């Protein structure tokens, strides 16, 4: 299960010029090592809506709500997808199978200040809305510099 910190650092995605080559190398190494390829996990975006609201968007086309499980436990967000392949059970003879629905599992470590507000599935995108409220005592405070009144200023002439 890949673990990811819910940080706001950009992620490699399919628009990267090297992503296709990376996916090929990833699949080759996973064949050799027996590990699940990293590229099999769904692509996702994290965006900041405003000062306190953020959104995580996963690309999971073909998944239905009943095939997804989203939970938060001990500040860890887990998203799992288990696809029910109805055609696999009917012993269909595939002529070409380019669309593969793999089960997936993603985990993100959440700071205690981050709360999941809602999840929505629409058009193959799973959107999770977050709120990050930083208490006043944890926000940085500006310290002003005072100049004592007894200091003399030098006039330049």
Residue 15 has what pLDDT? 42
As beta bridge partners, residue 71 has 78
Cα 117 to chain centroid, rounded: 15
Assign a CATH topology to domain 15-85+100-132.
Answer: Immunoglobulin-like (2.60.40)
What lies within 8 Å, CB to CB, of 41 at 6+ separation is 2, 104, 106
**Closest to 116 in 3D by CA, of 58, 53, 38, 63:** 53
Tokens of 5: 């910190």
What pLDDT shows up at residue 89?
A: 59
Look at residue 83 in the predicted model and tell me its pLDDT: 85
Per-domain residue ranges of the chain: 15-85+100-132
The 10 Å CB-count burial string (b at 16+, else e) for 83-111 is beeeeeeeeeeeeeeeeebeebebbbebe
What letter does residue 48 receive in the DSSP assignment?
E
- pLDDT mean values, one per 10 residues, the chain (157 residues): 45 44 65 66 89 92 93 91 72 79 86 91 95 83 87 58
In what side-by-side order are the strands of the sheet with 104-109?
3-5, 104-109, 76-81, 68-73
């Amino acid at each position: 299960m890949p673990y990811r910190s819910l940080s706001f650092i950009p992620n490699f995605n399919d628009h990267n010029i090297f992503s296709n080559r990376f996916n090929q190398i990833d699949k080759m190494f996973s064949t050799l090592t027996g590990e699940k390829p990293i590229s099999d996990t769904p692509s996702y975006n994290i965006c900041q809506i405003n000062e306190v609201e953020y959104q995580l968007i996963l690309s999971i086309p073909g998944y239905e709500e009943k095939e997804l499980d989203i939970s938060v436990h001990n500040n860890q967000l887990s998203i799992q997808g288990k696809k029910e392949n109805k055609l696999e059970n009917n012993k269909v003879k595939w002529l070409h199978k380019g669309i593969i629905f793999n089960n997936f599992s993603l985990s993100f470590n959440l700071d205690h200040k981050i709360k999941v507000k809602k999840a929505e599935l629409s058009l193959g995108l799973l959107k999770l809305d977050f709120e990050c409220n930083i208490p006043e005592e944890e926000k940085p405070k500006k310290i002003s510099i005072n100049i004592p009144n007894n200091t003399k200023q030098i006039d330049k002439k």
